[in-house]
Chain A
Amino acid sequence: MSPNEPEKPEAPAEAAPAAPPAPPAKPSAAPQGGEADVSSYFFGEQLVGCDPSDITGKLVVIEGMDGSGRSTQIALLQEWLESEGFAVQTSGLRRSYLVGKDIDQLLARNAVTRMTLALMYATDFFDQLEHRVLPALRAGTVVLADRFIYTLMARGVVRGINRDYLTGLYAMALRPHLTFWLNVRPETAFAREFKKAQAISYWEAGRDMSLSHDLYWSFIRYQTMIKREFEVMAKRHEFIDLDGEASVQAVNKQLRQKIAEQLGIRAGKYTPSAALAHLWR
């Protein structure tokens, strides 16, 4: 995390082979707190004023580009977890009380530059982490995060922001217990997004990057760049790479299996209620 490190893709704490792998069992297993296992809870630096040793919930991250099926899967997982008796909290981008609406406005007015936007997103992320995610985790809740630092870092990197800078910026983020990547081709994502809104937004297509005046190609080029960043991070951060082009049911089954394993429960059968039946295709 040292700002003075030469251009190296990642922080030493994460690159070192001896570093503990992603946290799976650690937080729940041995609540010792203390300096020694900071890196098992956080990416590189202890969050100011946060003692993570009393975390009893699980942080499950669902990553993937627009149109990868994240929100569908999260809605289904929430229902399944609740039916299994687990309390669920969700988080996502631009949902903080502190700056969520401000970011919406900045994006709408499109008068914002890349570093400012990156820092506003970081503020949004940490406000949710401190006021929403951590209190929930302390209460034993399962937190389903609709995207996490990975999307924010990828967006920054493709816009030319230094990778080490972004790694340092998110050093105080909490390590998830599970990170799923719903991996889809940009072409598929385009079709799904277009179907949803009958249009593609300025930011989804990365139009601030002047990649192409052709909206379709701008979208494809931008999302391909993001996808490449994800491929790099997937290895480093032990993403569970799921084929987002498979059926909703198939993806959901895999998600439930892994989450059930993490929670120490049996992955029983699940069929969505009438309210969510339309998602089950």
Chain B
Amino acid sequence: MTETQDTTPKPPRQEPAKSTLPQPGRPVPSRAYPGALIVVEGTDGSGKSTQLYLLKRWLEIGGYRLHFTEWNSSPLVKSATRRGKQRRLLTPVTFSLLHAADFADRCERQIMPLLQADYLVLADRYTYTGFARDAARGCPPRWLRNLYRFAPVPDITFYFRAPLDVAVNRILSGRPKLKYYEAGMDLGLSYDRAESFRLFQARILEEYDKMVESDNFVVLDGTLPVNKLQKQMRDIVAERIDLKRFAPRPEEAV
């Protein structure tokens, strides 16, 4: 995103003779596409979704071309996930595979095409959620890394870090009943859902912390006031991403 461009009309991009994307199943570096990918990660209750929503509003109001995508939201895979959760059929491996299938569907049909089309893509949770949660469930990290190897590498990954008690209490106070898999009941950590949730989240937090350096997370303090955090987030986005690129194209302005 280094070259500067203004919004004067430019000729449409030519299709390259050879795809700039690697073979599916191989890593996708951010230079393979013109768009930009911003990801938020963190445990439940870390404040990441609120912050991404505010970032999205800021960019929408500014008129930037963007697309927002959420973990576990592909309609193609939804009925299977619902059935698996309701009937408690999911094992660590099938839980992981089903979420990877969901991600693949959004990746192939939304994220990759829009990155190719020069969009700003915002993702509420990304592959790191799979790495952290599924590793907490006992899946081998090496296997997980391979599983999501087809995912494009984000330009910025914000990691909202909140102390375990803060995050857990935010969730427990606002939710009447935790769901079975959400609470990590399948792990047999505790018969008490709240206690199981706390133990499960502790494991996830530990897995996230392991990735901070290796995956270049931008760590933000989830306990800060909402508007302060949002200011930090916007500053980092403006500094690292050439937002002018994503301003409305004249021909698209209505």
Which residues of A does B touch, CB under 8 Å? Answer: 1-3, 45, 47-49, 97-99, 102, 106, 111-116, 118-120, 122-123, 126-127, 130-131, 160-162, 164-166, 168-169, 171-172
Contacts and interface: CB of A to CB of B under 8 A. Distances in A.
Given A49-B138, A166-B25, A113 B94 contact: no
A205 to B, nearest CB: 22
A98 B84 contact: yes
Nearest to A100: B80
Interface string B85-97: 0000111111001
A127 B83 CA distance: 13
Interface string B58-100: 0000000000000000101101100110000111111001101
Contacts of B104: 113, 115-116, 118-119
Given A113-B108, A119-B100, A48 B146 contact: no
B76 A111 contact: yes
Contact of A171 (B84, B89, B137, B143): B143
Given A120-B101, A127-B94, A131-B89, A114 B76 contact: no
15 contacts: A3-B146, A45-B140, A47-B93, A48-B137, A48-B139, A97-B89, A112-B105, A126-B94, A131-B89, A161-B23, A161-B24, A162-B25, A162-B149, A165-B24, A166-B25
A135 B145 CA distance: 29
Given A112-B76, A116-B101, A169 B146 contact: yes
Given A98-B83, A116-B76, A116-B105, A172 B24 contact: no
B146 A165 contact: yes
B147 interface: yes
Interface of B: 23-26, 74, 76-77, 79-80, 83-84, 89-94, 97-98, 100-101, 104-105, 107-109, 137-140, 142-143, 145-147, 149-150
A280 to B, nearest CB: 39
Contacts of A45: 140, 142-143
Nearest to B83: A98
A68 B93 CA distance: 31
Contact of A119 (B83, B101, B137, B146): B101
Contact of A168 (B24, B77, B90, B147): B147
Contacts of A116: 74, 76-77, 101, 104-105, 108
A115 B105 CA distance: 8
A131 B89 CA distance: 9
Contact of A122 (B90, B97, B107, B150): B97
B24 A160 contact: yes
A117 to B, nearest CB: 9
B76 A130 contact: no
Nearest to B92: A48
A164 to B, nearest CB: 7
Residue picked from A102, A126, A166, most chain B C-beta under 10 Å: A102
A165 B76 CA distance: 23
A160 B23 CA distance: 7
Contacts of A118: 104
